[in-house]
Amino acid sequence: MIKSYPPDVAGQTAAFATPAPRNIAFTGGKFVVRTGADYEAESVPTKDEQDTTDALSHAKLKALMARTPDEVQAWVATSVKDTAALQDVVTTLAIAVGILARRL
């Protein structure tokens, strides 16, 4: 079932008061609620999609993404001083390579 509600506080309140499961959208100047046979369940992310999301939340990988190749080279030259630091860098790069390799 698809129901429309006016674009005001009362309409918004009524839309969000609709029992779940439901889809609510504000489109065409009104709140549109889909339930029953018209309800569209959110798709479950694939493993690749979830892994990509997880990789993008990896702080060190995000830091590398923001750097130019020259900045990455300088960071490696100044930061990798021992085996633990090297393992950390290799792990970060392996995460990136693993995600990228799936797109080949």
Q: Are residues 63 and 30 in the same domain?
A: no
Q: Are residues 64 and 96 in the same domain?
A: yes
Q: Are residues 91 and 66 in the same domain?
A: yes
Q: Tell me the residue range of the domain where 18 lies.
A: 2-38
Total domain count for the chain? 2
3-58 tens-digit pLDDT: 999 999 999 999 999 999 999 999 999 999 999 999 998 888 899 889 888 888 88
Inter-residue long-range contacts of 18-22, CB under 8 Å, 24+ positions, other chains counted: none
7-17 tens-digit pLDDT: 999 999 999 99
Q: Are residues 32 and 60 in the same domain?
A: no
DSSP state, 22? -
Name the burial class of residue 33, with classes exposed (0-12), middle (13-18) and buried (19+) by CB atoms within 10 angstroms of its CB: buried
